[in-house]
Amino acid sequence: MTALDAHLLVQRGDFDLDLRLTIAPGEVVALLGPNGAGKTTALRALAGLTPLAAGHVTLGGRDLDRPDRRLWTPPERRPIGVVFQDYLLFPHLSTLDNVAFGPRRHGMPRREARAHAADWLARVGLAAYARRRPRHLSGGQAQRVALARALAVDPTLLLLDEPLAALDARTRLDTRAELHRHLTGHPGATLLVTHDPLDALVLADRLVIVEHGRSVQEGDAATITARPRTDYVARLVGLNLYRGKADGHTVALSDGFELSVAERADGDVFVAFSPSAVALYPDRPDGSPRNTWPATVTGVQRHGDNLRVQLTGPIGAAADVTPLAAAALRLEAGLEVWAAVKAAETRAYPAQ
Amino acid sequence: MRERARVPLALLVPAGLGLAFLVLPLAGLLVRAPWGTLPQRLAEPGVLTALRLSLQTSTIATLFCVVLGVPLAWLLARVPFPGRRLVRALVTVPLVLPPVVGGVALLLVFGRRGLLGSWLDSTFGVTLPFTTTGVVLAEAFVAMPFLVIAVEGALRGADARYEEAAATLGAGRWTTFTHVTLPLVAPGVAAGAVLCWARALGEFGATITFAGNFPGRTQTMPLAVYLALETDLEAAIVLSLILLVVSVTILAALRDKWITSA
């Protein structure tokens, strides 16, 4: 059963969005992508704030938007709640009245709406802040009020636009955990728009990666982190990614470089390996069957307890080395080294 | 450091002269005021009548401007329509139009033989020129642009995404306007209304042209000042003093409003 079934076609200047989305009731889907990929446009189109050029939005079996049939439902009549990036809590209303705003507009009597709102504030742990104006709330509190306000009308679809982007790192950690709890409890469908892979991985059941207005990869977190299909995703999950033609245990990349892989593969494939699988040597290593190539260090950055080394050469790659190894190699930009990756450390999977 | 703190004479001298030019006439008014007989002067029935009429008409004119001007400002700020720039320019015309010309124009439309006036007269028996209603009309005509411009500016400054947020919570356009937009721009509406009221209070040219100068009916304070100037200078000074006090009080209130809203 699907709650949301949408095909979003939006034209805006020289940018166009073409995205198909389905979300089941209770499912949390993250729309993950770089800035300018069209994530927020997709969210606005679902909410009815940006018109569709074509396609459809169907929610709970009801058509909300069908440009081909001249059918359009204004935002106020869509059972869709939105948590905006900077929350947009009404500055002239108390926290309680902000949360009661939706229920009131849905015809709930004032007293009842306020009781309902108080209940929601209690659920997000802000019962004591009912009389405060939004400007007297911290970022994390404002985020929770915005969530309560959106959920107080029982939306069939909840949309969250970068819900944690405006928070500092410490608050983000707590709020993410709290948000996860509320999203798990939300019976409707949830679409989360984010450029932060951690938010997506923690909060969502399924990820849809968007680049340039198109979905480039979809799946659960495990699949996407293990088998990235674009450079953007590979960078997000911290893998080296190459595309080439496989013939048995050898994959020929487009620039002619050949990688040996452990699994047999044929045809168009991706090859991925972790930076920690790359070993660096001052001279050409010999021994077990490895992929080796001469490389030049272009940059060294701290990465957790290790150092991440950017390499150019026949193939670009990132390598993680320990500070001890880095010192032994006297690593610095411009240094010529040999890079090696065991075939067993690589993963090859079909590109189709 | 001292070099920087010094203000160039070429700026300081004209600035000082400008200030003196603005302040001296007001000081003159205060110096020449008949302080000794002020209480009796103020108690004269003519003065009180003119003052009451002025306060009444400018207040009603302001209400009229708010009721029509706020929706007009909203339309200009929020709804894109062809010819919007032209409409915006038209709204500001009374601002630059000499008020006397405004009065003549009002006569041509609302006069007894005017475009709308003759119809109003024959259908409803309503006559506008040379009546108190005519005073209100003349003041509103001249003062409305102040309100529209102030409110439109406030609307453009207000974040329209609050209105989108209201829509996603189930509020239609009218409810959004009354429950979100209006409270957000309330300081702007208040500032615009005060400016509008002050302008209406001081209105002279359009009023005397369209409504005439009948004591108790259409003779507002500025008209009374003008009339008194020809017969009784002290009376003119007293009346001017009252208008000055009212204006300064309004200005002070407005400044407070701006400071609190900033």
The predicted model scores a pTM of 0.81
Pick the residue from chain A with its C-alpha nearest to B180: A90
Tens digit of pLDDT for each residue in B111-158? 888 889 888 888 888 889 999 999 999 999 999 999 999 999 999 999
Q: How far is residue B148's CA from residue A147's CA, in Å, rounded to a whole number?
A: 37
Question: Which of A234, A256, A285 is at the close of a domain?
Answer: A234
Tens digit of pLDDT for each residue in B29-76? 889 888 888 888 888 888 888 989 999 999 999 999 999 999 999 999
Residues A197 and A253 in one domain: no
Residues A247 and A101 in one domain: no
Which domains does chain B possess? 45-98+133-261 (1.10.3720.10)
Residues 6+ apart with CB under 8 A from A343: A249, A260, A261, A262, A289, A290, A291
Q: How confident is the model at residue B262 (pLDDT cuts 50, 70, 90)?
A: very low
- Quick check: A245 and A232 in contact, CB under 8 A? no
Residues A204 and A74 in one domain: yes
Interface probe for B, chosen from A41, A57, A101 (most Cβ of B below 10 Å), is A101
Q: How far is residue A278's CA from residue B170's CA, in Å, rounded to a whole number?
A: 55
Whose structure tokens read 């009404």?
A: A90
Contact A101 B172 (CB under 8 A): no
Domain CATH code at residue A342: 2.40.50.100
- Quick check: A123 and A103 in contact, CB under 8 A? no
Contact A49 B168 (CB under 8 A): yes
- Quick check: B146 and B190 in contact, CB under 8 A? no
Residues A246 and A344 in one domain: yes
Above 70 in pLDDT, residue B256?
Answer: no
**Which chain B residues have a beta carbon less than 8 Å from that of A74?**
167, 172
Residues A196 and A284 in one domain: no
Q: How far is residue A232's CA from residue A235's CA, in Å, rounded to a whole number?
A: 5
For CA atoms A320, A322, A324, A325, the dihedral sign is negative
Percent of chain B scored above 90 by pLDDT? 60
Cα A79 → chain centroid: 24
ipTM, 2 dp = 0.82
Question: Which of A234, A254, A283 is at the close of a domain?
Answer: A234
Q: A121 - beta bridge partners?
A: none
Tens digit of pLDDT for each residue in B190-205? 989 988 998 999 999 9
Contact B172 A47 (CB under 8 A): no
Q: Label residue B38 exposed, middle or buried (CB < 10 Å: 0-12, 13-18, 19+).
A: middle
Predicted pLDDT of residue A218: 93
Residues 6+ apart with CB under 8 A from A131: A94, A95, A96
The residue range of the domain holding A89 is: 4-234
CA atoms within a 13 Å half-sphere pointing along the CA-CB vector of B79: 11
Number of domains making up chain A:
2
Residues A162 and A192 in one domain: yes
Please state, in angstroms and as integers, the Cα–Cα distance from residue B67 to each residue in A100, A319, B62, B75, B147, following that order: 29, 69, 9, 13, 11
SS3 A111: helix
Mean of all residue pLDDT scores within chain B: 90
Predicted pLDDT of residue A263: 85
Whose structure tokens read 């200009």?
A: B76
Residues 6+ apart with CB under 8 A from B22: none
Nearest to B200 by CA among B244, B136, B254: B136
Question: Which of A186, A210, A234 is at the close of a domain?
Answer: A234
Which residues in chain A show pLDDT less than 50? none
Residues A273 and A341 in one domain: yes
Predicted pLDDT of residue B68: 97
Residues A205 and A330 in one domain: no
Domain CATH code at residue A203: 3.40.50.300
Residue A246 has a CB neighbour count (10 Å cut-off) of: 23
Tens digit of pLDDT for each residue in A88-133? 999 999 999 999 999 999 999 999 999 999 999 999 999 999 999 9
Residues A37 and A185 in one domain: yes
Predicted pLDDT of residue B261: 46
Predicted pLDDT of residue A290: 76
Residues A136 and A277 in one domain: no
Q: For B9-38, what is the mean pLDDT?
A: 92
Residues A186 and A254 in one domain: no
**A153 at interface of B, judged by CB pairs closer than 8 A:** yes
* The residue type at B188: G
Nearest to B185 by CA among B102, B70, B92: B70
Above 90 in pLDDT, residue B247?
Answer: no
Residues A176 and A270 in one domain: no
CB-nearest partner of B169 from A74, A92, A102 = A102
